[in-house]
Amino acid sequence: MASLEWVNANIAAFGGDPSRVTIGGQSAGAKAVATLLAVPQANTLFRSGISESGGGERAFTKAEAAAVGEVFGEVWRKQQGAMESLRTAPAEAIVAAQDSFTAKLPYRAPFRPQIGADFLPARPVDVVAARSCKGRRLLIGTNRDEGASFIGPHPDVDPTSKNLSVMDGKRFAAVLAGYKTVYPEMSDAERRVLAYTAAEWMVHSVRFANAFTASGGDAWMYLVDYTEPSGRMAGEAFHGIEVPLVWERMDAGQKQDPTAAPLPREFHQAWVSFIKGNPPAAEGLPPWPRYDARTRSTMILDAQSKVEQRPEEAELRLWDGIF
The DSSP code sequence of 144-173 is TTTTHHHH-SS-SS---TTT-SSS-HHHHH
Residues 143 and 217 in one domain: yes
CATH number at residue 215: 3.40.50.1820
Are 23 and 36 in contact, with CB atoms under 8 Å apart? yes
Residues 47 and 65 in one domain: no
pLDDT above 90: residue 108: no
Residues 92 and 145 in one domain: no
Residues 64 and 49 in one domain: no
Residues 51 and 71 in one domain: no
Per the domain annotation, does 209 fall within a domain? yes
Are 226 and 263 in contact, with CB atoms under 8 Å apart? yes
pTM, rounded to two decimals: 0.95
pLDDT at 211: 98
Q: What ranges make up the beta strands (E) of 30-136?
A: 48-52
Residues 300 and 289 in one domain: yes
Residues 138 and 181 in one domain: yes
Question: Residues 143-177, buried b or exposed e (16+ Cβ, 10 A)?
Answer: bbbbbbbbbbbebeebbebebbbbbebeebeebbe
Residues 64 and 40 in one domain: no
Q: Which domain holds residue 191?
A: 2-57+122-317
Residues 81 and 28 in one domain: no
Mean residue pLDDT of the chain comes to 96
How many separate domains does the chain show?
Answer: 2
For residue range 180-189, what is the model confidence (pLDDT) as tens digits? 999 999 999 9
Per the domain annotation, does 257 fall within a domain? yes
Residues 226 and 298 in one domain: yes
Q: What is the mean pLDDT of residues 271-293?
A: 97
For residue range 187-229, what is the model confidence (pLDDT) as tens digits? 999 999 999 999 999 999 999 999 999 999 999 999 999 999 9
Alpha carbon dihedral 317, 280, 300, 241, in 10-degree steps, equals: -100
Per the domain annotation, does 117 fall within a domain? no
Question: Residues 266-302, buried b or exposed e (16+ Cβ, 10 A)?
Answer: bbbbbbebbbeeeebbbeebeebeebeeeebbbbbbb
Per the domain annotation, does 127 fall within a domain? yes
Residues 76 and 220 in one domain: no
Residues 21 and 89 in one domain: no
Per the domain annotation, does 322 fall within a domain? no
Distance CA 315, CA 318 (A): 5
